[in-house]
Chains A and B, each alone.
Chain A
Amino acid sequence: MLNGTTAEIKPREALRINPAKTCQPIGAMYASLGINGCMPHSHGSQGCCAYHRSHLTRHFKEPVVATSSSFTEGASVFGGLANMTQALSNIFTIYNPKLVAVHTTCLSEVIGDDIPMMIKKATEEGIIPAGKRVIHANTPSFVGSHVTGFASMVAAMVKYLSESSGKTEAQLKDDGQLNLIPGYIDPADMRELKRIVKEMGVKTVMFPDTSGVLDLPQDGRYRMFPSGGATMEEIKSAGDSVGTIALGHFASHPAAIELDEKCKVPAALLELPYGLTNTDLFIHALRNHGGVDVPATIGEERGRLLDAMSDMHQYFHGKRVAIVGDPDHVIALTQFLVELDMKPVYVFTGSSGKHFEQRLTDILANHAPDAMVKQNVDLFELHQQIKNNPVDLIIGNTYSKYISRAENVPFVRFGFPILDRMGHRYFPCVGYMGALRLMELINDALLDHKDRDCAEENFELIQ
């Protein structure tokens, strides 16, 4: 399939080949699913909603529900007000969610639909039942990426729902509640973050929280609104927390900053807790803001990770890695690769943002200053670069597997989406334990490849 890829790289202005990103609305839909009892609503044509649901279902192997304004030609000429009004009325009448989280699409953005006005009108007309809420985020598909859409919806949760009740500082301290904004990570990761926080003994509110929504046990029932997700009350109470820990510049920091501005909740802006250092920083922030001591159990987890890193360091040393994915994922994972003494060669994201290049230049300055760091790039270019200067390992989402096959390079699936393997649905990558899993994936990919391709005399029993 990729036999058309040539090593010669010409500048491209007008053409995207095999993208390393997708559009904003799917990120907004995923974030919305992390609110308890929420119906995500796509204000646009039916296709958008169907594609996002199918795509999320392929990644999570879970039912994903969302509604659509089902735009037709009429709506795109006269505006989507009538569709939105009818949609909200139907959604609350039939499905009865606790809230509806509206995101826009390219279509409704271009025709200039004013969503806050529509929500206001629906409220005035009594279409939104008492106690129910409708929130919204603008997610034009022609700006940013799925990560932008996710971040905007998380920020919208703060804008619409979080409130400061005017408690005194002493009262807040007494409550000792901390906000945790987890970023664009899988339900298994969110579950692991909650475990760590509980282990640390910190009282937290985490939003969004898709654990218990998109990782349900089979119990013979289909629920449109599973029991998981951050409740509206919890998100409201985020305005009364003593602090916020936000994981990931692109997916989480905008919401944390919003919360600081709106409710004066100070924020610790961290990277995702992948690997040793980033998890240390996360634990440190929990300790500081939560006013707790680090329990011995967490120390032991760290010790086990360190032990594994020592045991296996020779297999990681100097291995050339191409990593591509969402900016927060790539930044934090690259940090871990450096800790493992691997050599990042291509560090790419399909999304855009200066912070990506700045942050990675810092991370790579001492260890791999020659690494190529690029934003707004696609998998076609990554393939071309690899043809020019090969690597030992590719880390990326499922779409990177074409390159892995074409160039016979070991491959670790990481990020979003993963459409062809199961582990990400159950096993976290965050925290010390998650780092062990990442190490295992990388180590096994490298050694499996060696075992398969090496000469008979070099085929080793013990590694």
Chain B
Amino acid sequence: MIDLLPGREKQVVHTGGEGAAATVMACGKNSVAGSVSQRACVFCGSRVVLYPIADALHIVHGPVGCAAYTWDIRGALSSGPQLHRNSFSTDLQEMDVIYGGEKKLEAALLELIAHHSPKAAFVYSTCIVGIIGDDVSAVCNRVAAQTGIPVLGVHSEGFKGTKKDGYKAACDALYKLIGTGDTSNISPHSINILGEFNLAGETWILRDYYKRMGIEVVSCLTGDSRIEDIRRAHGAKLNLVQCSGSMTSLAKMMERDHGIPFKRVSYFGIEDMSAALYEAAKFFKDDPAIMDRAQNLVREEVAAIYPELQRFKQKLIGKKAAIYVGGSFKAFSLMRALRLIGMETAIVGSQTGDKDDYQQLQEMADPGTIIVDDANPLELAKFCLEKDVDLFIGGVKERPIAYKLGIGFCDHNHERKEPLAGYIGMLNFAKEVYASVASPVWQFAPRRAKRAALLSQNAA
């Protein structure tokens, strides 16, 4: 075992060990000061949730950094406007910190709204705004009154919690829009897709599936979304919530106030994707044709990818993977998808999982799997070597660590280049995993090269 920071012992579990079944993970904690955490802040959480709303203006109220680091870094695609990809900020300076930044914010909003005519504006508060005490809500109200569009303050001061609190702040801002649009002409068989961000165009794939089933997608929150759709989201009959960490609070509010039930789903992997479609079909049981169409769709789509998946499975069988992702719900899907292509999950961890998530992970995982909350790179690297994994699934900060170790990598975060959701996404995932795991480059990696040499020595 490697050294862990004091206080982190309970954030790492080896399944199958003594008393493992009873282990309750300590999680949802703030990271220990002084740890090399992979986690971000409240602002980051809000920014990722709202960013894909393409016809809205997004302005960061704070110093330039927060706006610079979140400028067009997510591959959340828009089929129309590209306004959201620009970086707008108040670039607060020393004088603004002393005298307040409200005037600057108001002027910036008025100028941008006049120029771009967005359908709404989101104003992200950063750490400093929370400290200098700008009344962002008052500015938003004034500008909204003057321009006639919703101007929504997002309470995303970085220090006011974790990334999860940022999701909540984003949901609160979104909720001010929901319920303000006209819901006539919405089909009785209608849904909202929550927690799906159209990375590499994934929302488009899902919309197509539901359309083929005869279900209307009122809005997707927030992949390729438009303000008008969000305003009428309360007219849908069911909410399907992916990436549960980010959007569950919104789904709960919609259930409370608009009576819309919600189901947790995942669109990743054949099993979970199919379950998501059937979940919707079961809900609309008044029209059995929907279930028929769902079954046909699943049959067709699976048949289309299955033979090729099997070929990948033959090549990948027995290979081991490490998973380190933002939300733990994604980790469940990834474990199932890896099993489908013959791979084992040796290490699984997340930045923001909760107690129940980790309990479920322990139940799903094979004995000996390492489960970790809020890991640091040293831990991740040692676990990878300890378990001798062939693949790492993670985000931008983990990629170079994997490569230094001579391990393949798959980006399952916002820098993914191919859609990984849906059936075609499962095939893309298999291709991507195979391309990296089976790359000839690893035969030159010292770890493999040494092993090959040892084996040939033993044989001789």
Contacts and interface: CB of A to CB of B under 8 A. Distances in A.
Interface residues of B, number: 80
B419 interface: no
Contacts of A90: 5-6, 32-35
A295 to B, nearest CB: 36
Interface in B39-57: 39-44
A49 B104 CA distance: 27
A165 B165 CA distance: 53
Interface in B363-412: 377-378, 381, 396-397, 399-401, 403-406
Contact of A143 (B33, B94, B160): B94
A95 B216 CA distance: 53
Nearest to A96: B3
B297 interface: no
A110 B97 contact: yes
Nearest to B381: A222
A64 B111 CA distance: 38
A230 B389 CA distance: 34
Given A51-B69, A141-B65, A224-B378, A17 B87 contact: yes
B446 A86 contact: no
B90 to A, nearest CB: 6
B127 A106 contact: yes
A260 interface: no
Interface in B100-156: 103-105, 107-108, 111-112, 115-116, 126-128, 130-132
Given A14-B108, A57-B400, A106 B378 contact: no
A4 interface: yes
A44 B127 CA distance: 9
A458 interface: no
B34 A18 contact: no
Contact of A69 (B33, B131, B399): B33
B303 interface: no
A45 B87 CA distance: 22
Contacts of B104: 13-14
A15 B72 CA distance: 18
A47 B86 contact: no
A75 B89 CA distance: 26
B445 interface: yes
For A14, A55, A140, A219, the residue with the greatest tally of chain B CB atoms inside 10 Å of its CB is A14
B116 A50 contact: no
A46 B112 CA distance: 30
Interface in B412-460: 445-447, 450
Interface in B1-25: 3-6
For A2, A3, A51, A219, the residue with the greatest tally of chain B CB atoms inside 10 Å of its CB is A51
Given A16-B67, A90-B35, A95 B378 contact: yes
B186 interface: no
B31 interface: yes
A44 B32 CA distance: 13
A47 B377 contact: no
B62 interface: yes
Interface string A82-126: 011011111101110000000001110011000000000000000
A71 B105 CA distance: 25
A16 B97 contact: no
A86 B112 contact: no
Interface of A: 1-4, 6, 12-19, 21-26, 41, 44-55, 57-58, 60-73, 75-76, 83-84, 86-91, 93-95, 105-107, 110-111, 140-143, 145, 216, 218-222, 224, 399
Closest 4 CB pairs of A and B: A47-B41, A23-B65, A90-B34, A87-B34
Interface of B: 3-6, 30-44, 62-72, 82-83, 85-94, 96-97, 103-105, 107-108, 111-112, 115-116, 126-128, 130-132, 158-162, 377-378, 381, 396-397, 399-401, 403-406, 445-447, 450
